[in-house]
Structure 1
Amino acid sequence: MSSSATTATALRRRHAAAGATAEEWVAVTGAGAWRVEEVGKHQLMRRTGLPARDLRALDPALSYPSSIMGRDRAVVVNLERVRAVITATEVLVPGPRDPAVAPLVRELRARLIASAPAPAPEDEAGNNRGVSPASPGGGAVDKDGQAWRSDKVLPFEFRALEVCLEFACKSLEHETSTLEKEAYPALDELTSKVSTLNLERVRQIKSRLVAISGRVHKVRDELEHLLDDDMDMVAMHLSEKLAYQAAGHSSRFDIEKEPSDFDEERDGVEEGGGSSDGGSGNETSLGFTPKIDELEILLEAYFVQIEGTLNKLSTLREYVDDTEDYINIMLDDKQNQLLQIGIMLSTGTLVLSCAIAATGVFGMNIGIPLYHAATTGVFWQVTGGIVGASAAIYLVTLLCYRRSGILQ
């Protein structure tokens, strides 16, 4: 090998290593088998046909909103803690060492094994009967035309998507239930005793309520967006796309293309006015129009579930608002009582000041006939008169306040 060829090979390897750092992914197949792989970015793009911008949505360090994106050969799921790439044959989940990923992988394995298509029945000779996937009602039939299964197994991508949706909805439902168990007793305790500790607990509960409500709203809006857009649901039929392409029809992407080719072709489609939603519009123009009833029913089921979770949070939010209103009413009542006491004290101070002023007048060094009176007990008479007059004025003033509605 020449030195120039060796240098070119080294440069290509160096470029590949610098452009795509290998990360660990969990790959779960339709049979429930799983394995941990180190997959680079470019390798993953060639494997799934995804552009780099879709892979960035799976990065936990980036705050991408909840989304479910159907592409030509994969479905990208980014719902709360659920991040996965679903193809027609496997599910790729990033970060296998994350403790939050292990429950999702276990759930995927258990559900995919349980919902895997059953093997074809054998005849008396022990041979498998031929089955037709296009039997009426979705059931398979044998060579004699007799249906041996009446239930229809969903495609792999729908079964995997269902697990992801269920995991995300259950996670939000669990957080909501936990918040409810903590919130209602704390709110009831606050209504019975307003203290700094109880107010701090309710403040933290309200902050968690706002955060969870925002996350549930994002998931609900994404499901509603998918239900309103038939083209997005068409793009998520990966198994039918493979069958459609296997029948001799072309696809937007070629498996052997490099990652840069994907981005260039996508940019070319967007500049030419084509669809930017992973090629769903292009597939439809080629005649790929699968039925979306199954996927629509699946999404509607979890839309109703997430709507129920949102209703629970709305009810809790109303209870918090009602408690705040009740506390504000209690505080206003206390404030009114304090104002009334302040009015009474101010009035008493005014009357007392008048009495002190009268006493000061009598204490002036001015000769008056009262000082020369021979009658004893004049001091106590004057003092009693001043005190009695002050008390009478104070009582009359309070009576006027009560009649005018200032005091209750």
Structure 2
Amino acid sequence: MPSALPQPVPSYNLVRFLRLQAQAAFPSHHGCADSARPVAMDTPPCRLHPRHSTVKRRFASLSASRASSGKPWGVSFYTSNAGSPSNTCVASPKSQETLKSWQERLWGSSAIKGGKPLKPSDLPGRDDAQPSTLSMFNSRRIQTAKAASEPRLRCTEVDEGGKVILVDGEFKKTELIAKFGLLPRDLRKIDSSNLPHILIRPSAILLNLLHLKVLIKHDRVLLFDVYGSKTSYPQSAFMYDLQGRLQQKPSAGSSGLPYEFRALEAVLTSVTSELEADFEAVREPVMRILSELEDDIDRDKLRILLILSKRVSTFEQKVKLVRDAIEELLEADDDLAAMYLTEKARGLSRGLDDHTEVEMLLESYNKLTDEIVQEAGNLVSGIRNTEEIVRAILDANRNALMLLDLKFSVGTLGLAMGTFLAGLYGMNLENFIENTQWGFGAITTSSAIFSLLVCWYGLVKLRKVQRIKMMSDERPHVSRGLSFREDGAFGLLDSRNRELLRRAHMQKGLAAKKRWPRIWWGRR
């Protein structure tokens, strides 16, 4: 069956380039003939030496002939098969000139077989090369570049006894996949994903929780550290706690937790303690700024509250992701049963429902994370309530300022109406009031009274507008076809009891109306 891939064939420009280079390096390739051909008298006779055709002897004879002639040289050596003697002939410059044709003398060696002088465009380029040629010449270079650019992971390895056997060791992803039986997507979640994950594999437990990226086996623990990150205090504290837990030996009466569960407990303890520390670091400034806002509402304090609100929201989302990762693992019985790596290494198997130890371990830490989520939620609700109260207070203050402005406007209107009357009598017009003695007092008193009346009327209207009720006393008429919800006492009863209560109120109202005429006629 013929191969589907094409055979690697050099391009035409490459073959032409190599041929011209060979002609320029060896211009007298036909200057020496067989040993039976007569040789010119001025050249030394060709000596026949029985030599074996090896590459070392060829280059030795070539270098010797080149050193003997200090001029441009031409060498033609003919070698027979292995084991047969070879003839070595050195030609002189005169023989080279006699062997050249008239075309070579005029235009050089490029005139042979209609050849043309070499141009820069004749050199083989990347576009002229075929894909098979590129793969033939660049395959090793591409493989080397891929190997050099392959991402590496730094790992700290802890053995079964709790001792660190490797610190910041560099591993390729392919090496980790082959050594620990992982999948490429597993390492991608560790290397590039910031979402919490707990993955269960047949021979390993892979955790990506906040600042820890850990691979747990039945006798090894690997702590991953991606390039660009620095060793932080939580990771150092985790390593100290992990070594302490792994070095503990179970007492004589109890079997103790397996190796993988002790490492898992160290990871969950470090994650929950880090969450608690972060929550305390956020809660203290929030409570302080909330207490300060109760005394004085300031613009700077509101800005600080906004920043802290964003931090608390981010923290709450982070804790929820950790809690969801643990809950997702608790809901998968097959994953819980597959976490007993030590028993798997010994050839033992567990049922899908036989995972009490690991379930209790995960339940305890799930409860801790849930409590942190609830406290963070309470803190967020406290911030939201404070923001709403502050907004209501600011709205009330703004309304009070607007009301004060309206009061000043009403007072200004009253004064304007008084001055309007005074302005009417300030015109240069003759009237009978100017000749009386009571004219000035009467006009002044009437202007003041008119101004006060205008002010009183405006303030009364403003007072009515200022009174805002949550519910109006008058209920709008609604047709029978439309249903509506009553927010009062009637809304708490069903339709039958509501109708009975309404009839009772109507009877009381009719009895009160009949009683008033009797009382009035009795008094008469």
Question: Where on the TM-score scale, by shorter chain, does this alignment land: which range?
Answer: 0.7 to 0.9
Say which is worse superposed, 356-365 or 324-333, in terms of deviation.
Answer: 356-365
Asked whether the 8 Å contact 2:419–2:447 carries over to 1, the reply is no
Question: Cα distance 1:357–1:227, how it changes in 2: closer, same or farther (>3 A)?
Answer: same
Once the 2 structures are TM-superposed, how far is the Cα of residue 43 of structure 1 from its aligned partner? 0.6
Tell me if structure 1 keeps the 8 A contact 2:160–2:246: no
SS in structure 1 of the partner of residue 466 of structure 2: coil
1:108 matched residue in structure 2 = 239
Q: What is aligned with 2:221?
A: 91
- Does residue 294 of structure 1 match 2:357? yes
**Measured at CA, do residues 341 and 407 of structure 1 come closer, stay the same or move farther in structure 2, by a change above 3 Å?**
farther
Alignment-derived partner of residue 390 in structure 1: 451
Q: How does 1:3-402 map to 2 (within 5 A)?
A: 14=144, 17-18=147-148, 20-34=150-164, 35-36=166-167, 37-59=169-191, 62-95=192-225, 98-101=229-232, 103-116=234-247, 118=249, 149-244=252-347, 291-371=354-434, 373-375=435-437, 378-379=439-440, 381-399=442-460, 401-402=462-463
How far the C-alpha of 1:196 sits from its partner, in A, is 0.8
Q: Distance in 2 between matches of 1:31 and 1:405?
A: 81
Which of these two proteins has the greater Rg computed from alpha carbons? Answer: 2
Do the aligned partners of 2:218 and 2:341 also contact (CA within 8 Å) in 1?
Answer: yes
Q: Does the CA-based 8 Å contact 1:28-1:92 persist in structure 2? A: yes
| Alpha-carbon spacing, 1:384–1:57, altered in 2? closer, same or farther (3 Å) | same
Distance 1:106 1:364 in 2: 95
The residue matched to 1:31 in structure 2 has which SS? Answer: coil
The answer (yes or no) to whether the contact 1:31–1:113 under 8 Å persists in 2 is no
Cα distance in 1 for partners of 2:255, 2:247 equals 11
Instruction: Kindly indicate whether the alpha-carbon contact (under 8 Å) linking 1:29 and 1:90 is maintained by their aligned counterparts in 2.
Output: yes
Alpha-carbon displacement from aligned partner over 1:298-343 (angstroms, at most 9, x marks no partner): 1001001111111211221222122223212322321231232122
What residue identity is the alignment partner of 1:104?
Answer: Q
- Matched residue count: 329
Q: 1: distance between equivalents of 2:384 and 2:138? A: 68
Task: Tell me which residue corresponds to 1:262.
Answer: none
Distance 1:103 1:175, change over 3 A: closer
CA positional deviation for 1:45: 0.8
How far apart, CA to CA, are the structure 1 residues paired with 2:322 and 2:140?
Answer: 46
Moved more, 313-322 or 212-221: 313-322
2:7 corresponds to which residue?
none
- Could you tell me whether the CA contact under 8 Å between 2:312 and 2:376 is conserved in 1? yes
Mapped partners of 1:294, 1:105: distance in 2: 28
Query: What is the distance in 1 between the residues matched to 2:139 and 2:431?
Result: 125
Q: Quick one: distance in 1 between partners of 2:307 and 2:293?
A: 13
Counterparts in 2 of 1:211 and 1:386: CA distance versus 1, 3 Å? same
8 A contact 1:233–1:292 mirrored in 2: yes
- 1:58 is paired with a residue whose SS is helix
Partner Cα separation in structure 2 for residue 67 and residue 100 of structure 1? 21
| C-alpha contact (below 8 Å) 1:75/1:87 kept by paired residues | yes
2:254 partner SS: coil
Aligned partner letter, 1:83: K
Change (3 A) 1:26 1:344: same
For residues 120-151 of structure 1, give each alpha carbon's deviation from its aligned partner in whole angstroms, at most 9, with x where no partner exists: xxxxxxxxxxxxxxxxxxxxxxxxxxxx7222
1:62-86 Cα shifts (integer Å, max 9, x gaps): 3442110011222111111111111
1:153: Cα distance to partner? 2.0
For each residue in 1:241-272, what CA deviation from the matched residue of structure 2 results, as whole angstroms up to 9, or x when unmatched? 2222xx7xxxxxxxxxxxxxxxxxxxxxxxxx
Gaps (5+ residues) in structure 2?
A: 1-136, 469-524
| Alpha-carbon separation, structure 1, partners of 2:386 and 2:179 | 54
SS in 2 for 1:57: helix
Post-superposition Cα deviations, 1:148-178, rounded to whole Å, max 9, x if no partner, equal 7222321222111111111111111111111
Q: Secondary structure at the match of 1:83?
A: strand
* Aligned AA (1:187): L
State the secondary structure of the residue aligned to 1:394: helix
Partner of 1:130: none
Answer whether contact 1:22 1:40 (CA < 8 A) is retained: yes
> What's the TM-score, normalizing by structure 1?
0.72
**Whole-Å Cα distance in 1 between the matches of residues 249 and 458 of structure 2?**
93
Q: Residue 367 of structure 1 aligns to a residue in which SS?
A: coil
Aligned alpha-carbon RMSD (Å): 3.0
- Percent identity between the aligned chains? 25
User: Any conservation in 2 of the 1:80–1:168 contact (CA below 8 Å)?
Assistant: yes
- How many Å separate the matches in 1 of 2:254 and 2:381? 44
Could you tell me how far apart the structure 2 residues matched to 1:114 and 1:22 are?
29
Q: How far apart are 1:405 and its partner, in Å?
A: 6.0
| Paired letter, 1:25 | C
More contact order relative to length (CA 8 Å, sep ≥ 6): 1
| Structure 2 equivalent of residue 138 of structure 1 | none
Which stretch of structure 1 is more off in the superposition, 105-114 or 63-72?
A: 105-114
| Structure 2 Cα separation of the partners of residues 105 and 87 of structure 1 | 21
| Offset at residue 218 of structure 1 (A) | 0.4
Q: Over residues 1-42 of structure 1, what are the superposed CA-to-partner deviations in whole Å (9 max), with x where a residue is unaligned?
A: xxxxxx999679727614733332111223222122111111
| Superposed displacement of residue 407, structure 1 | 6.2
Secondary structure class of the residue paired with 2:190:
coil
Separation of aligned partners in 1, 2:436 and 2:241 = 113
